Amino acid sequence: MPEVENNRQTHADVAPLFTERWSTRAFSSEPLTDDEIAKLFEASRWAPSSGNSQPWMVVYETDGPDRATFDSVLRPGNQKWAPSAPLLGYFFAKNNRPDGSPLGSSQFDTGSAWMSLAMQATMMGLHAHAMGGIEKDAVYEKLGVSSDEYTVICAFVVGHRGDVSALEEDLQARDKPNDRDPVSEHVTKGVVG
Ligand SMILES: Cc1cc2nc3c(=O)[nH]c(=O)nc-3n(C[C@H](O)[C@H](O)[C@H](O)COP(=O)(O)O)c2cc1C
């Protein structure tokens, strides 16, 4: 994997994995092995969920016959780079329990499953990149998923980092680890007032 300068500074001593994970757009076409793919989805399998409902569903394709269909429901900005990655998937969240009552936290739980996958990818020296830029109306029909049963959350790609010079110039400049707000902008101790 080509090296990139990572200047992320933590304000407390956390596992390096948290700052080592970042979302490149420069993917090599090197395929993932079956073992690597199994590990990614095994990691997401162990994500926590409300009542252990495990309300996520992933559909993915590598270089198989459906890959063009999977690529086709990305928004144009993501189509510029994501088709290079060897695995493209979509996370869906289940809408209802078997009794028809809504699964209120299924989108949150699906986010946990995504993050587990992304962290596992990082531990394996791979990159995972989520994308909300998808053609949400077309996704259900093209991928054969019922919108009554599921809500699409995001697409994602996983692969090895590739040659950044293959990206358009504006994307090349942005292809590096970004920063974060201080914790105090997002976390309050005690009541907010
Ligand atoms: C739900 C979600 C949707 C995103 N949508 C896109 C997208 O459509 N296109 C894109 O290039 N990046 C997308 N991103 C990547 C974010 O821009 C990125 O995670 C954020 O800037 C933080 O950078 P990092 O992941 O490198 O730490 C998305 C990330 C998430 C979690």
Q: What is the pLDDT of residues 32-63, one digit of tens each?
A: 999 999 999 999 999 999 999 999 999 999 99
Give domain status of residue 78, yes or no: yes
Average of per-residue pLDDT across 1-21: 91
The domain spanning residue 56 has which CATH number?
3.40.109.10
Dump pLDDT digits (tens) for 16-26: 999 999 999 99
* Residue 86 confidence (pLDDT) above 80: yes
Give domain status of residue 51, yes or no: yes
Give domain status of residue 108, yes or no: yes
Alpha helix (H) residue ranges in 60-166: 67-72, 76-79, 106-123, 136-143
Give domain status of residue 174, yes or no: no
Query: Confidence class of residue 193 from pLDDT cuts 50, 70 and 90?
Result: confident
Count of domains for the chain = 1
Give domain status of residue 3, yes or no: no
Return the best residue to mutate from 88, 131, 178 for the ligand 1 pocket (most ligand atoms within 8 A of CB).
Answer: 131
Answer whether 154 contacts ligand 1 (Cβ < 6 A): yes
As a whole number of angstroms, the distance between CA 101 and CA 65 comes to: 37
Provide the pLDDT for residue 2. 53
Give domain status of residue 75, yes or no: yes
Give domain status of residue 178, yes or no: no
Tally of CA atoms within 13 A in the half-sphere of 166 that contains its CB? 15
Answer whether 122 contacts ligand 1 (Cβ < 6 A): no
Q: Tell me the residue range of the domain where 31 lies.
A: 25-164
pTM (2 d.p.): 0.97
Answer whether 96 contacts ligand 1 (Cβ < 6 A): no
Ligand 1 atom with minimal separation from the 25 CA = 11
Answer whether 107 contacts ligand 1 (Cβ < 6 A): no
Provide the pLDDT for residue 1. 47
Give domain status of residue 122, yes or no: yes
